[in-house]
Chains A and B, each alone.
Chain A
C-alpha cells in the first residue's frame, strides 16, 4: 500500500535524505510529493550548514597531547583541564582542589581529610535518606547496596584527583567513619596511611577506589569487605 501525503511528510521530516525505494517511489508519485521532498532537502542543506562551527585552533593539538600521558596513570587530570572545569563547577571544594596537586592518592586522602574531614563528621547526623544517597551515587554511575546505604549518615560530592567523587560518613559500632569514593582513581589496594592520630585504608573497587578513614583505634577489616562488596558501579569505563 502506498503512503499518503501526511505519512510522506512525516517520513521526510524525520529523515530528509532518505533514499529508500518506498520513499523514492512516493516522491515520484505526484508533484505535491516531489515539491515537499525538495523543500525538505533545501531546509536540510541550511540546517547542515548552520551547525558547522569550527573548533578552536589548538583543540586537536591539545587532544593529541593527551597521548603523552602514561596509560596507567589514571589519577591526574592535566591541570589546565581541571582549572577550566573549575570555572564552571565553582564549588568551594573544587577551589581547594585547584590549589593542590597531589603526588599520590595517599597525599590526596590526607590533604582532603585535613581540609574538611572533621567538619563533615560534625555534619553527620541520623541516617541519610536513601533518595539523597542514590541521587549522588547515581551521578557517579555508582550505587550502594542496602547494607552500606543503611549506614550512611552524610554524603556529598567532593573533588578527587580525577573528577568528582563522594565524601560519606557511615555509622559503625566503633563510631563514625569517613569514606571517600573516587570513581576515576585507582589506588594501591590494602595500602594503609597514618596521619594525625588517624588512619586510612585504601580499597580498589571494580571501578575506582575508596579511602576509609577513621581514628587509629578503629578497625576497618569488616568495613573494607563491606565497601568492596557494596559500592557498585555501572560505569563502563568509557
Chain B
C-alpha cells in the first residue's frame, strides 16, 4: 500500500471504530443532534490532519475525545445551543420497551441533560466509552478521588431527579 492509501485506511478504521461513540458523547454533552454531528465531523477533520502525530493506536480513543472536547470548548461553549427534542433522535433497540420502561428511559435521558457538566462529563466518559476512573481522571485532569465523587453524585442526582419527575408526572417537560 502507498503511504496515502495506508493513511486513508488507518483513518477509516478510526472512523468506523469510534464515530458512533463520539457522536453519542457529543450528543449528550451538547444536547443537540445537529451540533453533535458537526462536532464529530470537525473532530475527524482535525484528526485527519494530525493523524501522523498519533503514534500509538491504543491512544486513539482518548486522542479523539480530547480533540472533540477541545473543539467543543473552542467553538460552542460560549453559545449554548437549544436542547434537541429527544423524540426526534433515533434511538437504538427501543422496539421492545414496554411503556413504563420507555417512560423510565425518557426520564433518565432528561435527567442526563439536566446534570451539571461537572457531573455529566465523567459520567458520559464512563458510560459511553467504558473509561475507568483512572482514565477519566487522566482525560479530565482531575484526581481519581474527585472523579469517583462526581460519578457517585451524578448517579445520585439522576435517581433523585427521576423520582421527582416520576412522582410529579413530569415526563413531557420541555427543556
Pick from A44, A50, A69, A237: contact of B109, CB under 8 Å: A50
Q: What CA separation (Å) do A62 and B70 show in the bound complex?
A: 21
Does A226 sit at the interface, judged by CB under 8 A?
no
Proximity string of chain A (33-56) to chain B, C-beta cutoff 8 Å, 1 when within and 0 when not: 000000000011011111111111
How many chain B residues sit at the interface, stated as a range, is 35 or more
Pick the residue among B41, B73, B112 that contacts A66 (CB under 8 A): B41
Task: Compute how far the CA of A90 lies from the CA of B53 in the bound complex, rounded to whole angstroms.
Answer: 33
Whether B74 is near chain A, meaning CB under 8 Å from some CB there, is yes
Q: How far is the CA of A10 from the CA of B149 in the complex (A)?
A: 8
Is there an interface contact between A63 and B90, defined as CB atoms closer than 8 Å?
A: no
Let me know if B37 and A59 touch, CB within 8 A: yes
Say yes or no: B109 contacts A43, CB within 8 Å: no
Q: Which residues of B contact A15 (CB under 8 A)?
A: 126, 132-133, 148, 151
Question: Knowing A53-B89, A66-B44 touch, does A238 contact B63 (C-beta < 8 A)?
Answer: yes
Q: A15-B132, A60-B15 are known contacts; what are 20 more A-B pairs with Cβ within 8 Å?
A: A13-B151, A14-B155, A46-B108, A47-B158, A49-B93, A50-B108, A50-B112, A51-B24, A51-B28, A52-B92, A53-B24, A54-B20, A54-B91, A55-B40, A66-B44, A81-B38, A84-B34, A139-B78, A163-B75, A238-B70
Task: Report A's interface with B, CB cutoff 8 A.
Answer: 10-11, 13-16, 43-44, 46-56, 59-60, 62-64, 66-67, 69, 71, 74, 77-78, 81, 84-85, 87-90, 139-141, 163-164, 237-238
The residues of B with any CB-CB pair to A shorter than 8 Å are 7-8, 11-12, 15-16, 19-20, 23-24, 27-28, 33-35, 37-38, 40-42, 44-50, 53, 63, 66-67, 70, 73-76, 78-79, 81, 89-93, 104-105, 108-109, 112, 124, 126-128, 132-133, 147-149, 151-152, 155-156, 158-159
